[in-house]
Amino acid sequence: MNNPNSSNRKIVILGNGIAGVTCARHVRKKDDKADITIVSGETEHFFSRTALMYIYMGHMKYEHTKPYEDWFWEKNRIDLKHAWVGNVDFENKQLLFQDGATLAYDILVLATGSKPNKFGWPGQEFKGVQGLYSYQDLELMEQNTQNIKRAVVVGGGLIGIEMAEMLASREIPVTFLVREKNFWDNILPLEEAQLINRHILEHHIDLRLETELEEIIGEDSGKVKSIKTKTGEIIDCQFVGLTVGVSPNIGFLKNSGLETNRGIVVDGFFRTNLQGVYAIGDCAEFKEAPASDRKNIEQVWYTGRMHGETLAYNLTTSNAVPYQPGIWFNSAKFLDIEYQTYGQVPAIWSDETESFYWEDKSGKICIRLLYSKKDKEIMGVNAFGWRLRHAFFDKAISEGWSLEKVLSHLNQASFNPEFSKPFHKEVLAKYNRESGKALETYKASFFKKLIGSRS
Amino acid sequence: MKNIQKVGAAIFVLGFLIFSILPFIGTYQLGKTIVEANVKDIHRETMVDIMSPMYGKVYDSNFAFIKDFKQYFNTYNDQLKSNQEWDKVIWDNYAFDLTKASSLGPVANNPYFYLGISVLVAVIGALLYILPLYRSEPEGIKNNGIFFSSMKAKGFLGILTGTYLILFYIVLYWFPEYMTNLVIAVDPISMALSGNPASQWFLYGLIYTLAIFVMGIRMFRKYRGNKYQTLRTASVMFFQLSFAFILPEILVLFNQPWHDFKNIWPLDYSFFYDYRMEGMLSSGALGMFMLIWGIILIVLGVPLLTYFYGKRWYCSWVCGCGGLAETLGDPYRQLSDKTVKSWKIERYLIHGVLVFAVLMTALTIGNYFSGFSFLGDATNQLHSIYGFAIGSAFAGVIGTGFYPLMGNRVWCRFGCPLAAYLGMVQRFKSRFRITTNGGQCISCGNCSTYCEMGIDVRWYAQRGQNIVRSSCVGCGVCSAVCPRGVLKLENGDEEGRINDMPIIIGNKSITIKS
Ligand SMILES: Cc1cc2nc3c(=O)[nH]c(=O)nc-3n(C[C@H](O)[C@H](O)[C@H](O)COP(=O)(O)OP(=O)(O)OC[C@H]3O[C@@H](n4cnc5c(N)ncnc54)[C@H](O)[C@@H]3O)c2cc1C
Ligand code: SF4
Ligand code: SF4
């Protein structure tokens, strides 16, 4: 690896998203001398991409989405360059900007993120048809959704439902096309997917399951006027959101000598095929998946942050470590229902795995625990409408707690606000009913409850 | 907006306009008997004399009446002042009492009617607007459109509302004689409760309590499904109605000093003033209880309860200022400034006020026990400076008037000396913290945006660090609005409460300490 902390080496980070910014911050913490520059064409300052929807919905303004105040960068001597890179000249170690300027580097960290997929549908170039990834996309969406009568969102994933929620918040009628049988059912088990189906309908969003887009139809003026589904149905609309996943944003790096596949190919140390060039975040593709239960491309906020942390560590030490993610976790919010997951809960599990599922009468709260049939060790948990303690499940899963141990400690695992209705008793009662056992919840004394002690 | 809400909004505006116009209607006439009945014995003769040019004259507006009153009154005083005859100057302000007593109607003739068409109509309108809120929507907090709202995002309506509130407070504190009609309208209620005619403070207390109730009902609608929000809102409503509004009036009815048992020094800055002390000491067992209870709250209640539950037990469950901020002020919580710069200003200001209050009280008590030989009248000067600058200008005019401009906790954050005291306990010796849920934060910023105290909650959450800040009033809204379930207000063991070097769960390659 590079000789750490040696001199004022020039570290250039392309991309000011969570991956690039985390890397820059952690390098600066350990290395006082390095000359750090973050480049991005999107916005001058780091903002939270995950908060884009809240700007549209009027919960926040752009400035609220910036995790650091503007003085932060100068104080930490992190230079910001707000411009688009057209090309990288890897041979001469410099970035070539679209406006003709150049920037030399000793170490280059590519953290260029993703771009929305477009699958070559007829009519996808009409005005009013767009994806949602960047700040510019958001501005475009603002323009494209002025005074419209109906919008169609294509693609039943996380960004799709966010977009549907955004539009619904402005009282724009939304038709939501989902190819699968149930919402996000390639990730969610049936009951959970159906729970969200119901909730989407409850919000008066016109959810169309098992419905695929055939083509987008425009007016002569070039504006979208309707879409046609695979079954031939025509739906009039003035806006089409395409949210069918994202791909690494590496178009401008093709044929530059950098090894790419779907993303920028890296090893477990985020090294590309070129000396001194690394890739992290959404745009990186591991040659080998970092763990058996992990994908080669990780496109979530948390992994971007971990990539950044780990690479920064490696850039400032002589004992580089490979990237080794721990227990998987993720979360989302589907309209009003929060979702958290820890460990592995695939949509369909093998015969060696069993599931315990509880759903509240309201049909809006549920928990699923997957465990191995053989030794009853828990493997993962899904919770909807029920906040769970990350530290609890990180420990329970990595230590291989049994299902029963987890169930009898569920009261401690809950992270719901104080005075919330406790669900752990109902869950346990269901388990006892089904298993014929008489498991009990670990109990706290009245005094401990009064002072709110957990231990 | 549903039609019934539009009607409600219109009715509210109507009631509000009538309330605002009411002070300016009616006729006034001063008579000798009125003066005799409303001034102190020592001033009776002089005042009857000074005011004689006004007798029998009917004034068409309170402006004309007050103008004449001030002219005659000031001419008299100015004369004495220029002759340096200080002991003859009348320092008492009789403008309010005499204006109120001189009112010929129509409000005085029909107070219930005027109270009804102003305050009651506004309350009904507001409820018609509030009750249908989110009616057809699933449970969940909807902050949609807040930053597009003229009222809630410092637009024209927000600035207008702020200006109105500021003017209202200025009149209330320094020119109450201009709002006598409103006070007259609530006279019968005051008579019923305490057997005394209303003062402007009774009017204020009544409106204050109504505001907490009506906007408290709005809180129930807005935070449906969040029991913490519902309970603490119900709690501030209860404490305002019983402890702050009704109980003190009942005490007065039984000839006891007016006393709010849940108010604590140094927020209740006059607690140790000589007149209050004398009031308590001369009121038998109950008075003694008031004194001892007040002291217990200061030396035991605050540290103990704050140790177990954080300062929230007071600030967002009991306190009247907090009660108004959490109900009437809730629509403005997102306007608080989150910058590190304002945090710095906050620390200087709030601790400055605390020092001022403590010093002033120490001098007052010292002076009192020395039989006023120590500083004489000087503590009175201090009291009026504090009362003017902190008690009225800061807590009232800025504290509430600036809701629509700087958020709903301006006073609690920058000024309240009790908050400073509670905050020190919370920061250094308490079981309360906001726990951050491992690595789940997506840095979206909802928590920081909706923190009324201007705490940059995200700063801690995204590093996996617990939030332990002296200013946090434990309103729980950061936790309520977090879309990823990252924040939980809780009381727990002190160990591990402050984790300056948090480890974000999820990455086994390294253990990042940031
Ligand atoms: C609407 C939305 C909601 C999401 N919600 C969640 C969520 O709730 N939870 C979650 O875990 N994940 C979520 N994600 C995914 C998450 O935001 C991404 O995984 C993460 O932001 C990726 O970070 P990054 O640093 O790899 O890249 P990015 O944040 O994409 O940053 C890359 C930056 O590099 C810039 N750049 C790229 N090429 C160039 C160039 N040639 N010249 C100049 N600049 C360039 C880009 O403009 C961009 O600013 C969401 C994504 C979207 C779009
Ligand atoms: S609201 Fe929640 S997810 Fe968003 S920044 Fe705050 S703690 Fe993080
Ligand atoms: S940090 Fe949270 S609980 Fe504390 S005052 Fe701010 S919003 Fe309320």
Give the CATH number, domain containing residue B480.
Answer: 3.30.70.20
Q: How far is the CA of B14 from the centre of ligand 3 (A)?
A: 35
Is the pLDDT assigned to residue A281 strictly greater than 50?
Answer: yes
Which among A38, A116, A108, A96 is positioned nearest to A258, based on CA atoms? A108
Entry pTM: 0.95
Does residue B198 lie in a domain region? Answer: no
Average pLDDT of the residues in B313-328: 97
At B337, list the tokens. 């400034």
Q: CA A323 to CA A305: how far, in whole Å?
A: 12
Q: Give the ligand 3 atom nearest the CA of B489.
A: 3
Q: What is the pLDDT of residues B100-129, one digit of tens each?
A: 999 987 898 899 999 999 999 999 999 999
Let me know: does A121 contact A216? Beta carbons within 8 Å: yes
Average pLDDT, chain B: 93
Put simply, whether B427 touches A (Cβ < 8 Å) is no
**How confident is the model at residue A19, as a pLDDT?**
98
Q: CA A378 to CA A209: how far, in whole Å?
A: 32
Q: CA B250 to CA A357: how far, in whole Å?
A: 57
Boundary-marking domain end, from B101, B128, B146: B101
Judge: B146–A455 Cβ closer than 8 Å, yes or no: no
Q: What is the pLDDT of residues A192-237, one digit of tens each?
A: 999 999 999 999 999 999 999 999 999 999 999 999 999 999 999 9
pLDDT confidence bin for B362, thresholds 50/70/90: very high
The residue type of B233 is T
Does residue B439 lie in a domain region? Answer: yes
| DSSP-assigned letter for residue A51 | G
Give me the phi and psi of A215, to 5 degrees please.
-155, 160
Q: How far is the CA of A66 from the centre of ligand 2 (A)?
A: 12
Let me know: does A370 contact A355? Beta carbons within 8 Å: yes
**How confident is the model at residue A212, as a pLDDT?**
96
DSSP one-letter string for A99-148: TS-EEE-SEEEE---EEE-----TTTTSBTEE---SHHHHHHHHHHTTT-
Which residues in A lie closer than 8 A to residue B231 (C-beta atoms)?
419
Q: CA B327 to CA A378: how far, in whole Å?
A: 45
Query: Is B212 a pocket residue for ligand 2 (Cβ < 6 Å)?
Result: no
Q: What is the pLDDT of residues A380-423, one digit of tens each?
A: 999 999 999 999 999 999 999 999 999 999 999 999 999 999 99
A and B: number of Cβ contacts within 8 A: 182
DSSP one-letter string for A239-294: EEEE-S-EEE--GGGTTSS--BSSSEEE-TT-B-SSTTEEE-GGGEEESS-SSTTS
**How confident is the model at residue A455, as a pLDDT?**
44
At A313, list the tokens. 């560590």
Q: What is the pLDDT of residues B203-247, one digit of tens each?
A: 999 999 999 999 999 999 999 999 999 999 999 999 999 999 999
Which residues, including other chains, have CB under 8 Å from residue A8's CB and lie 6 or more apart? A33, A34, A35
Judge: A329–B505 Cβ closer than 8 Å, yes or no: yes
Interface of A with B in 151-180 (CB under 8 A): 169
Secondary structure (3-state) at A5: coil
Which residues in B lie closer than 8 A to residue A58 (C-beta atoms)?
143-149
Judge: B446–A60 Cβ closer than 8 Å, yes or no: yes
Secondary structure (3-state) at A87: strand
Q: CA B142 to CA B139: how far, in whole Å?
A: 9
Does residue B77 lie in a domain region? Answer: yes
Put simply, whether B507 touches A (Cβ < 8 Å) is yes
**Hunting for tokens 């303690």 — which residue is that?**
A389
- Ligand 1 atom 27, closest CA: A113
Is the pLDDT assigned to residue A284 strictly greater than 80?
Answer: yes
Q: CA B313 to CA B239: how far, in whole Å?
A: 12
Judge: A453–B493 Cβ closer than 8 Å, yes or no: yes
Does residue B406 lie in a domain region? Answer: no
pLDDT confidence bin for B21, thresholds 50/70/90: very high
Is the pLDDT assigned to residue B396 strictly greater than 50?
Answer: yes
pLDDT confidence bin for B514, thresholds 50/70/90: low
pLDDT confidence bin for A6, thresholds 50/70/90: low
Interface of A with B in 389-408 (CB under 8 A): 389-391, 394
Q: What is the pLDDT of residues B180-206, one digit of tens each?
A: 999 999 999 999 999 999 999 999 999
Which residues, including other chains, have CB under 8 Å from residue B319's CB and lie 6 or more apart? B236, B239, B262, B267
Query: Is B447 a pocket residue for ligand 2 (Cβ < 6 Å)?
Result: yes
Average pLDDT, chain A: 95
Distances (CA, A) of A86 to A16, A100, A105: 16, 9, 16
Average pLDDT of the residues in B396-422: 96
Query: Is B482 a pocket residue for ligand 2 (Cβ < 6 Å)?
Result: yes
Query: Is A252 a pocket residue for ligand 1 (Cβ < 6 Å)?
Result: yes
DSSP one-letter string for B201-245: HHHHHHHHHHHHHHHHHHHHHHTTT-HHHHHHHHHHHHHIIIIII
Q: CA B245 to CA B256: how far, in whole Å?
A: 15
Does residue B499 lie in a domain region? Answer: yes
Query: Is B445 a pocket residue for ligand 2 (Cβ < 6 Å)?
Result: yes
Q: CA B59 to CA A137: how far, in whole Å?
A: 66
Let me know: does A79 contact A105? Beta carbons within 8 Å: no
Does residue B502 lie in a domain region? Answer: yes
Judge: B431–A203 Cβ closer than 8 Å, yes or no: no
pLDDT confidence bin for B513, thresholds 50/70/90: low
Which among B195, B201, B236 is positioned nearest to B215, based on CA atoms? B236
Q: What is the pLDDT of residues A65-123, one digit of tens each?
A: 999 999 999 999 999 999 999 999 999 999 999 999 999 999 999 999 999 999 899 99
Which among A10, A15, A11, A39 is positioned nearest to A250, based on CA atoms? A15
Is the pLDDT assigned to residue B369 strictly greater than 70?
Answer: yes
* Sequence-ordered strand ranges (E) for A360-409: 366-372, 378-384
User: What is the radius of gyration, based on Cα positions, of chain A?
Assistant: 24
Boundary-marking domain end, from B81, B101, B121: B101
Does residue B470 lie in a domain region? Answer: yes
Higher-pLDDT residue of A245 and B77 is A245
Is the pLDDT assigned to residue B2 strictly greater than 90?
Answer: no
| DSSP-assigned letter for residue B426 | H
Is the pLDDT assigned to residue A4 strictly greater than 70?
Answer: no
Q: How many domains does chain B have?
A: 2
Q: How far is the CA of B316 from the centre of ligand 1 (A)?
A: 38
Parallel, antiparallel, or unpaired for β A378-384 and A337-343?
antiparallel
Q: What is the pLDDT of residues A28-54, one digit of tens each?
A: 999 999 999 999 999 999 999 999 999
What percent of chain A shows pLDDT beyond 90? Answer: 94
* Sequence-ordered strand ranges (E) for B324-373: none
Boundary-marking domain end, from B79, B101, B123: B101
Q: What share of chain A is helix, strand, coil (3-state, %, to 5)?
A: 25, 25, 45
Query: Is A281 a pocket residue for ligand 1 (Cβ < 6 Å)?
Result: yes
Is the pLDDT assigned to residue B54 strictly greater than 50?
Answer: yes
Secondary structure (3-state) at B338: coil
β-partners of residue B105 are B27
Does residue B188 lie in a domain region? Answer: no
**How confident is the model at residue A1, as a pLDDT?**
45
Domain that holds residue B59: 28-101
The residue type of A392 is F
pLDDT confidence bin for A454, thresholds 50/70/90: low
Query: Is B457 a pocket residue for ligand 2 (Cβ < 6 Å)?
Result: yes
